[in-house]
């Protein structure tokens, strides 16, 4: 720092320094060298932010400048250059000989960074002193060699340095920096004092017990005049910092931008803290520990896991390439085969036979081909040259799928029974006739080979028999209204047709039109209004995926038609709102979801079964929760496990435990951490859009059976492998009838 004084004195010297004697010599800090030879060392102090302070701080800074001049050539343009490593080590060694400083990485880093600043200042001084005139413009003539600094600079270094500074790119950068620094908006007024020693001075004068001051306080003090006055714009920034510091947490201040940077509306540069000076970093200021670097064993474990993943991906890629090759071979083989290939398929759903031609051309299974426009497979477009097929019967247990099912990770045909797969067009053959068989006495188990007409007759007869059977078992129970279906001929969805006609004739025909349906407090535990839009009705008419509005409307239908006025049902069954607890809210606001569930559970004093239609983001499933017995029934129409929904399961388990705690229930130690989850073998859907309709029918059948406990194999009265389309149409008919009777749509 003494060298800076020297620089300022040299800058005021006349131009012709060669003919006039310079009264002051160069700074080489001989006193430190003499004391070093006498084994005398100097103590230095550090503040809470690891910055150099104390009476010997200025002496150390000046000595660093001397060592830099002695060991670092002026031609060094980058302080981070590895070639300067040995010279930096010499500087650090010399400083340790004369000053009592801990030989640690953090101290060495601070000192060498300060040395880098001194080196830049030294080069700037030489440029301004010898290469520029009084107007700070580069001189055209060759500057003389500075004999005064011959012990630091050789003539060869001087020539190279002059060439560097006369480079046009450097001149542009120099002009830009000079213009930027010529008129600062908030000028620093403390000269060589620096922020660290300014902070030390303020704390000493005020006799404060604090170890440091906020950056904006130091920033203001550094811009205060000698008479103690503060400019209005500086005071305005300070006041804004005070306001911001009351609303921004320390963590937010650290992770984003500091309060001072926000008030100044300037970026925060990494590794520094504005208003604190050299050496203060976000780590030292906020005392935020650095993240621990992983151990060698952890790195090796991670590497092995990644290698295993890469190997598995390579295997999957090779398998898929083989599948594509087989698919192309299938096409070539089928074109040459003598079998008459049917290139055209009837629209709609048709029974079919499924063939493969590798390694031999053979019949491998039977199913149904779905030839509908715009059809998707697991929400993805079908590959070119393929149709969507549902697999009913497998004749070759070792047959591979032409295209593996990535969603379910299925590769064998036998594992795809009851699901949809993509099958090549030229390997699908329509049955000449659809086999039929009479209904068997198996409690309504669906048979894949039944004709459409046969299924309609079974449905109509079964509905009547089922109503009689349930009515005989439960005299006081109000059965579901069964839509009157014709025993013969095609099913006519008359309520759907009527409702669609009403919609087309009303203001609901326009885009954006809505209807509001009041939901009483007894339904979800709070009063709310459900919004029904035209799109929701279109989803019903077109049999598309359903939204929460339709699901909640059907819950209101169940409440009005079964539970209202029936104390037994209304006290036994309750509902959970899908608007307050769903996948998005569980991830974003888990506490509010848990509080709602616990409050819902606490509303009952007897055994209740809470029906919760849960939306995982792209799929509906049903949870039936008995919080007193701590049992959760899991009904999933795609045969998935509850482990596939960890966030949902954790929320339910936690809510039941909180409910247990609030009602002060005594639970055996063996069950204190175990909540019973039961996967019900419910009917399964055979496409990617029916999940919402299945959930509505699940709730309908559970309430109709009036049982708290759901059998693992589902209710015998409703047991089947899959719901038929007619069974789902019945749900839609009830829903459309409810819309009409409630006069939600009127002309």
**330 or 347, greater pLDDT:** 347
With a CB cutoff of 8 Å and minimum separation 6, the contacts of 663 are: 602
**Secondary structure, 3-state, 248-269:** CCHHHHHHCCCHHHHHHCCCCC
Closest to 642 measured CA to CA, from 671, 659, 621: 621
Q: Would the pLDDT of 9 be above 50?
A: no
Residue 582: the pLDDT is 85
Structure tokens given for 216: 């904006």
- What distance in Å separates the CA atoms of residue 41 and residue 35, rounded to the nearest whole number? 7
Q: How many CA atoms lie within 13 A of 504 on its CB side?
A: 7
Buried b / exposed e across 49-65, counting CB within 10 Å, b at 16+?
Answer: bbbbbbebbbbbbbbbb
Q: What is the mean pLDDT of the chain?
A: 77
Top pLDDT among 356 and 282 is at 356
Alpha helices in 603-645 (DSSP H): none
Query: What confidence tier does 490 reach under pLDDT thresholds 50, 70, 90?
Result: low
Main-chain phi, psi angles of 378, to 5 degrees:
55, 45
pLDDT band at 457 (very low <50, low <70, confident <90, very high): very low
Residue 290 has pLDDT above 80, yes or no: no
The closest of 499, 470, 481, 463 to 745, measured between CA atoms, is 499
Average pLDDT (194-210) is 81
Find the mean pLDDT for residues 606-610.
86
For the ranges 331-340, 678-687, 737-746, the maximum mean pLDDT occurs at 678-687
Phi-psi label, residue 287: left if phi above 0, alpha if psi -120 to 50, beta otherwise: left
Q: Does the pLDDT value for residue 334 go beyond 80?
A: no
Tell me which of 37-41, 654-658, 696-700 is least confident.
37-41
d(CA 202, CA 197) in angstroms, rounded, equals 9
Residue 690 CB-density burial (10 A; 0-12 exposed, 13-18 middle, 19+ buried): buried
Which residue, chain included where needed, has tokens 């209904």? 439
Q: What pLDDT score was predicted for residue 432?
A: 55
| Eight-class DSSP state of 230 | -
The residue-averaged pLDDT of 196-211 equals 81
Alpha-carbon gap, residue 503 to 312, rounded angstroms: 53
What is the share, in percent, of the chain residues with pLDDT greater than 90? Answer: 14
Rg, C-alpha atoms of the chain: 41
Q: Which residue has the tokens 């209005």?
A: 232
pLDDT value for 576: 94
Average pLDDT of the residues in 503-511: 78
pLDDT of residue 732: 92
What is the β-pairing status of strands 410-412 and 420-424?
Answer: unpaired
Phi, psi of 131 (to 5 degrees): -110, -5
Please tell me the distance from the alpha carbon of residue 727 to that of residue 64, in angstroms, as a whole number: 88
Instruction: Evaluate whether 680 touches 712 at the Cβ level (below 8 Å).
Output: yes
pLDDT digits (tens, 9 = 90+) for 213-227: 888 888 888 888 888
Rounded Cα gap, residues 488 and 369, in angstroms: 25
State the CB neighbour count (10 A cutoff) for residue 497.
12
Mean pLDDT is highest, among 234-248, 291-305, 597-611, 705-719, for 705-719
Q: What is the pLDDT of residue 20?
A: 44
Task: State the pLDDT at residue 335.
Answer: 43
Q: Which residue has the higher pLDDT, 577 or 37?
A: 577
User: What are phi and psi for residue 388, nearest 5 degrees?
Assistant: -85, 130
More confident residue, 415 or 112: 112
The answer to which of 60-64, 549-553, 669-673, 703-707 has the lowest mean pLDDT is 669-673
CB 418 within 8 A of CB 393: no
pLDDT per residue as tens digits for the range 218-255: 888 888 888 888 888 888 888 888 877 766 655 444 44
pLDDT for 672 equals 47
CB–CB of 727/459 below 8 Å?
yes
- Statement: residue 441 has pLDDT above 70: no
User: Which tokens hold the place of 331?
Assistant: 């096409």
Highest-confidence segment of 260-269, 345-354, 664-673 = 345-354
Rounded Cα–Cα distance for residues 362 and 590 (Å): 54
Q: Rounded mean pLDDT of 522-548?
A: 88
What pLDDT is recorded for position 467? 40
pTM: 0.40
With tokens 């009904």, the residue in question is: 635
Ramachandran category for residue 392: left, alpha or beta (phi over 0 → left; psi -120 to 50 → alpha): alpha
Question: Is residue 319's pLDDT more than 70?
Answer: no
Which H/E stretch holds residue 626?
strand 620-626
Q: What mean pLDDT do residues 705-712 have?
A: 92
Higher-confidence residue of 255 and 383: namely: 383
Residue 298: pLDDT above 80?
Answer: no
Average pLDDT over residues 307-327: 67
- In terms of C-beta density within 10 A (0-12 exposed, 13-18 middle, 19 or more buried), how is residue 25 classed? exposed
State residue 182's pLDDT score.
74
**Mean local confidence (pLDDT), 563-574:** 89
pLDDT score at 437: 32
Predicted local confidence at residue 701, as pLDDT: 94
**Cα–Cα dist 659/664, whole Å:** 8
pLDDT at residue number 551: 93
Which range has the worst mean pLDDT, 173-187, 333-347, 388-402, 426-440? 333-347
Of 332, 385, 381, 389, the C-alpha closest to 361 is: 332
What Å distances lie between residue 94 and 59, 83, 119, 373, CA to CA? 14, 19, 17, 83
When mean pLDDT is compared across 259-273, 376-390, 574-588, the lowest value belongs to 259-273
Nearest to 443 by CA among 720, 135, 133, 48: 720
Give dist(CA 91, CA 56) in Å, integer: 18
Mean pLDDT of 118-139: 86
Q: pLDDT tens-digit profile of 163-187?
A: 888 888 888 888 888 777 777 888 8
pLDDT of 468 reads 44
């Amino acid at each position: 720092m003494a060298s800076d004084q020297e620089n300022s004195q040299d800058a005021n010297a006349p131009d012709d320094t060669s003919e006039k004697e310079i009264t002051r010599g160069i700074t080489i800090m001989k006193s430190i060298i003499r004391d070093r030879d006498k084994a005398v060392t100097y103590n230095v102090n550090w503040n809470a932010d690891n910055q150099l302070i104390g009476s010997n701080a200025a002496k150390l800074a000046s000595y660093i400048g001397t060592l830099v001049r002695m060991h670092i050539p002026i031609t060094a343009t980058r302080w981070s250059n590895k070639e300067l490593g040995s010279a930096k080590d010499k500087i650090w060694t010399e400083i340790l000989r004369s000053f009592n400083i801990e030989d640690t990485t953090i101290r060495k880093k601070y000192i060498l960074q300060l040395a880098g600043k001194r080196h830049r200042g030294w080069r700037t001084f030489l440029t301004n002193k010898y290469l520029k005139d009084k107007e700070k413009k580069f001189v055209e003539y060759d500057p003389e060699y500075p004999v005064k600094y011959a012990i630091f600079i050789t003539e060869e270094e001087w020539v190279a340095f002059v060439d560097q500074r006369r480079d046009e790119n450097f001149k542009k950068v120099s002009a830009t920096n000079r213009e930027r620094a010529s008129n600062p908006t908030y000028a620093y007024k403390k000269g060589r004092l620096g922020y660290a020693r300014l902070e030390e001075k303020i704390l000493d004068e005020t006799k404060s017990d604090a170890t440091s001051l906020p950056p904006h306080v130091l920033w203001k003090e550094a811009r205060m005049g000698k008479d103690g006055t503060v400019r209005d714009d500086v005071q305005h920034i300070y006041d804004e910092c005070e306001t911001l510091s009351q609303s921004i947490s320390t963590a937010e201040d650290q992770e984003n931008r500091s309060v001072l940077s926000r008030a100044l509306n300037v970026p925060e540069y990494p590794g520094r803290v504005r208003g604190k000076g050299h050496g203060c970093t976000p780590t030292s200021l906020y005392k935020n520990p650095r993240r621990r670097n992983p151990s060698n064993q952890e790195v090796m474990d991670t590497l092995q896991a990644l290698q295993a993943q890469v190997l598995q991906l390579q295997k999957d890629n090779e398998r898929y390439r083989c599948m594509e090759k087989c698919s192309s071979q299938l096409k070539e083989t089928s074109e040459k085969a003598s079998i008459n290939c049917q290139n055209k398929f009837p629209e709609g759903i048709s029974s079919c036979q499924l063939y493969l031609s590798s390694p031999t051309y053979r019949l491998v299974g039977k199913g149904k081909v779905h030839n509908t426009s715009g059809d998707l497979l697991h929400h993805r477009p079908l590959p070119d040259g393929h149709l969507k097929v549902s697999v009913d019967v497998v004749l070759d247990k070792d047959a591979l799928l032409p295209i593996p099912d990535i969603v379910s990770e299925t590769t064998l045909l036998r594992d795809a029974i009851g699901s949809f797969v993509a099958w090549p067009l030229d390997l699908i053959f329509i049955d000449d006739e659809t086999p039929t068989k009479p209904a068997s006495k198996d409690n309504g188990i669906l048979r894949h080979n039944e004709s459409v007409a046969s299924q309609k007759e079974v449905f109509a007869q079964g509905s009547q028999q089922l109503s009689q059977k349930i009515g005989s078992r439960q005299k006081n129970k109000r059965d579901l209204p069964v839509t009157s279906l014709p025993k013969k001929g095609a099913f006519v969805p008359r309520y759907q047709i009527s409702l669609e006609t009403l919609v087309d004739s009303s203001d609901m025909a326009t885009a954006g039109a809505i209807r509001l349906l009041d939901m009483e407090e007894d339904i979800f535990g709070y009063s709310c209004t459900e919004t029904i839009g035209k799109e929701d009705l279109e989803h019903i008419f077109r049999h598309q995926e359903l939204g929460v509005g339709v699901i909640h409307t059907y819950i209101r239908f169940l409440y009005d038609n079964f539970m209202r006025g029936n104390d037994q049902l209304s006290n036994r069954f309750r509902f959970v709102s899908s608007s307050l607890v769903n996948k998005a809210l569980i991830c974003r606001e888990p506490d509010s979801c848990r509080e709602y569930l616990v409050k819902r559970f606490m509303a009952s004093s007897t055994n209740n079964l809470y029906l919760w239609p849960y939306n995982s983001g792209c799929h509906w499933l049903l949870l039936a929760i008995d919080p007193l017995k701590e049992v959760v029934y899991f009904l999933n129409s795609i045969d998935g496990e509850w482990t596939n929904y960890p966030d949902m399961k954790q929320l339910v388990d936690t809510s039941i435990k909180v409910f247990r705690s609030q009602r002060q229930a005594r639970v055996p130690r063996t069950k204190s951490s175990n909540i019973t989850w039961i996967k019900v073998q419910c009917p399964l859907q055979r496409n990617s859009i029916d999940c919402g309709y299945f959930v509505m029918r699940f709730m309908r059948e559970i309430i109709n059976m009036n049982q708290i406990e759901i059998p693992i194999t589902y209710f015998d009265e409703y047991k089947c492998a899959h719901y038929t389309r007619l069974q789902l149409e019945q749900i839609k008919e009830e829903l459309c009838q409810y819309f009409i009777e409630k006069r939600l749509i009127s002309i």
